[in-house]
Amino acid sequence: MITIDRVAKKYIASVVMMLLFTMSASAQSGLVDMLVAGEPVSERQHNVQGIRSEIKQDALQEPSRILLAPETASWEGGKLSFTMKVDPEKENYFTARFWGSEANPNTLVLFCEGKQIGYHHLGDYDILYLGDEAPAYNDRFFYNTTPLPLALTKGRTELHFEIRSRGPAWRYGQSFEQYQKNMIKPSCGIYRLYTHTQSCFVPSPQEKQGIVPDGNTIRKSPGSEVLLKVKERVNLALEALMHTAQPLSQQEMFFMAKAWHVRWTVAYRAATIPSQIAKSIDAFYWNQKRNPKLVTYDPQQYNPDWFGFGTIGNAILLLENEFTPFLKETVTDSTGYTVNRKQAWAELMLASREYLRTHRRQYTNQSMIIDMNIYLSNKALAILAPEKAFSEREALRYIYEAVGLQPWLGSDTDHGPEKPLGENYFQLTDKGLTKELGYVGYYGEVLDWVTQIYTATCRPLDPSSGDKRIREQLVKMANARVVFRYPTVDAEGYKAMRIETITGWRDTHYPGDVTYTERQGWDASPFLSVVTTLDNQSVGYAQQMLEENQFFKTVEDKMATSTNLRVTQSLLPIPDQYETIKSQPPRKYRLPMYASEPDGIWSDEEDGVVAVKQGEDILYVSLYWRARHAVNYLARIHYITPGYDRVAVVRQHCEFIPSGLQYTRPDHIDFGFGNGGHQYPGDLHSAHAGENLPIAKIPAGIAYNAGDENSYAGKADFYVLVYGPYLIAMNTTRDRTYTLSIPGNFSNARDLSSGKTIGSIRSIPVSSRKTIVLYKKTTAGNP
């Protein structure tokens, strides 16, 4: 009898507590329903059924569900099915609560009425949990929100859902087996699930959120001993190459040519290196004669059709004086065919330039790589066969276009530039961000490539001798990127800044890497652009990285990511770069989202992106969100607060000039573009299939077919987003003014641009290329 009484009391207490919680949360987020995963009462109310699922109590002793790996090798693991209430008339959102310290590589996919919500890779609707290897938000919860299709909720009060687990995805996989990996460990914990009608989900104050980490703890290690490991790795690689009997690859030649100039390396001024590289270039010439496609299909070169033989051209330029005697010699192949070496190398450079200039790419980072190699190939050709080279002015045209100094005109044809995006498309915005289909996070971190482009215009070892316009553009870009670094902690809880990736349209992981000045890619280093320009602001940000002792950790992590030569050669300049920054006088600049820096807003209307800082609250918004084919009325949110983190895709208001064309979403579940990516086994269908979206007017002179990916098809002229306490209005046009109607609940809101209260005015004009952010906070977090 005692046992029954205790169970009964516990059951009643649970019901009462959940009722109170639901009432509290409902007032804040338009809450319709809430499921506490792993809690018996809530699970019975929602008809929860788990297949290969376990209940656990982990974070803050909160119950959760995990989905287990399959018993036999497979990409799909456990499932969780349940029912939840929805509003039959209003827009409904689905939010999931996850523990921010739990890094998990597996993905979770939401299904509603048997149809998949979101796309697995780079869709405007994301899947429920993308998976990652780093903690998303240490020691606290984060919330992920997605809209439910109105076609599924209209007239319904309850829907059947499933969450299905899958193994990690390797986004570059060419086959399904390369792309979708098997699930070999349990999923992350699923803690709570919610349906609600307000776009900004606000959890109840009674909901546990965890402890805000001490953001002032500076890591004590590693230290400068990392640089000894860098030198050791570089020198071991160089020694191995210096003693190889095989011809060097393009990357190996470039690596050794750079190292020849670096005092601390075993390759410094080594007498054998110019001869070794010359013979390796000869081998490329003979291979190209036998196989003319080598210029685009070099099996030892990553993305060979982006590089051609530009990397060889770079090596020639680095050792121009040392190669002078070799260029007077002739070379002979195994059949006895003899050719002047200078002529042979010129043929390589000409083939490289001609292929690359007729095969340019639109996406900014790809355009930069290709156009840099056009320039390098031509610059080497100017040494080898001046009569066949473009003038410097003609060659600069390609890299000027790549870095946004001139309109990008696409590939060269027999009839002139192709102009696929017209005559006035720039690769960068006026404010210095890369411009594709909105803000680009990790792939938009192209400071390394622009630095290499600038360096290509310099004399060897003289960074002050390069093209001044490109250098100015590099500084502008560096200062534009820094607003997209936010203060947080690293995986071990130490003070750090991370790059914003959630709102990046080509990004696939959360959180972004620890980043201060520039990304730590395979070909980059933290201070590459800073040392090249020694811009005052950039030096200040580099000094902040040293103060917070994240430089050595970042380099150590880079070394651990891969042993390949791309990483090794990028380590080469790091010791000298460190010494340069260390020797600089103190600068006053610190990253703008740093807690001590002033509050404010930053916007780029060409990319449709907004960043807001208010004390410890930071809001990033992409209004132009993955709208590849048509206007989708969706915005992407990353709302960072000390207590918890919110990631969301939400509805917004858009105004634009319609083209009269429409795009109908195909029944794709994997890629949100192209032909839908890889085909998953089984009868899987998209919940978004069949949705008709309007296509914005395409500028005159641009060839376009409905359904094509296009930078103009999905971009609106005027965006209005209400998200919690924020109202954002953005005018993306150059020549029109729009009117923002102020909702009644935003009367007396504060205009964050001016800092003034707007009073009771009912409308505000929003002029061209202008963004207005109004803020009105209530105790619930919503206006």
- pLDDT tens readout for residues 392-413: 999 999 999 999 999 999 999 9
Give the predicted TM-score (pTM) of the model.
0.94
What are the strands, taking DSSP E only, across 491-644?
495-499, 600-604, 609-614, 617-622, 634-640
In CATH terms, is domain 600-642+652-775 a member of 2.30.42.10? no
Confidence of residue 7 (pLDDT cuts 50, 70, 90): very low
Confidence of residue 333 (pLDDT cuts 50, 70, 90): confident
- Write b or e for each residue in 49-67: b if 16 or more Cβ atoms lie within 10 A of its Cβ, otherwise e: ebebbebeebbeebbbbbb
Backbone angles phi, psi at 65, to 5 degrees: -115, 135
Three-class secondary structure of residue 187 per DSSP: coil
| Euclidean distance between CA atoms 259 and 261, whole angstroms | 5
- pLDDT tens readout for residues 263-310: 999 999 999 999 999 999 999 999 999 999 999 999 999 999 999 999
Three-class secondary structure of residue 551 per DSSP: helix
| Euclidean distance between CA atoms 326 and 322, whole angstroms | 8
CATH number belonging to domain 2-196: 2.60.120.260
Q: What is the mean pLDDT of residues 528-553?
A: 97
Structure tokens at 4: 């029954």
Taking 70 as the threshold, does the pLDDT of residue 104 lie above it? yes
Half-sphere exposure of 115 (CA within 13 A, CB side): 16
The type of residue at 663 is Y
Question: What's the confidence (pLDDT) of residue 133?
Answer: 81
Rg (CA), the chain: 28
Q: What is the mean pLDDT of residues 498-520?
A: 94
Peptide bond into 573 cis (omega under 30): no
Q: Are 511 and 638 in contact (CB under 8 A)?
A: no
Q: Return the bridge partners of 647, or none.
A: 144, 638
Q: What is the mean pLDDT of residues 35-58?
A: 97
Question: What's the confidence (pLDDT) of residue 334?
Answer: 80
Least confident of 12-26, 103-117, 154-168: 12-26
Place of tokens 């090249």: 532
Question: What's the confidence (pLDDT) of residue 214?
Answer: 87
Question: What's the confidence (pLDDT) of residue 28?
Answer: 61
Q: Are 608 and 619 in contact (CB under 8 A)?
A: no
Looking at per-residue pLDDT, the higher value among 513 and 781 belongs to: 513
Question: What's the confidence (pLDDT) of residue 509?
Answer: 85
Number of other residues whose CB lies within 10 A of the CB of residue 268: 13
- pLDDT tens readout for residues 619-635: 999 999 999 999 999 99
- pLDDT tens readout for residues 425-478: 999 999 999 999 999 999 999 999 999 999 999 988 888 999 999 999 999 999
| Euclidean distance between CA atoms 676 and 119, whole angstroms | 9
Confidence of residue 782 (pLDDT cuts 50, 70, 90): low
Q: What is the mean pLDDT of residues 643-649?
A: 97
| Euclidean distance between CA atoms 370 and 7, whole angstroms | 69
DSSP state of 218: P
Question: What's the confidence (pLDDT) of residue 15?
Answer: 41
| Euclidean distance between CA atoms 81 and 67, whole angstroms | 11
Q: Are 439 and 607 in contact (CB under 8 A)?
A: yes
Structure tokens at 513: 């890497």
Taking 90 as the threshold, does the pLDDT of residue 8 lie above it? no
Looking at per-residue pLDDT, the higher value among 234 and 436 belongs to: 234
Question: What's the confidence (pLDDT) of residue 119?
Answer: 97
Question: What's the confidence (pLDDT) of residue 680?
Answer: 96
The type of residue at 574 is I
Question: What's the confidence (pLDDT) of residue 336?
Answer: 86
Chain-wide mean pLDDT for the chain? 94
Q: What is the mean pLDDT of residues 516-536?
A: 93
Number of other residues whose CB lies within 10 A of the CB of residue 673: 17
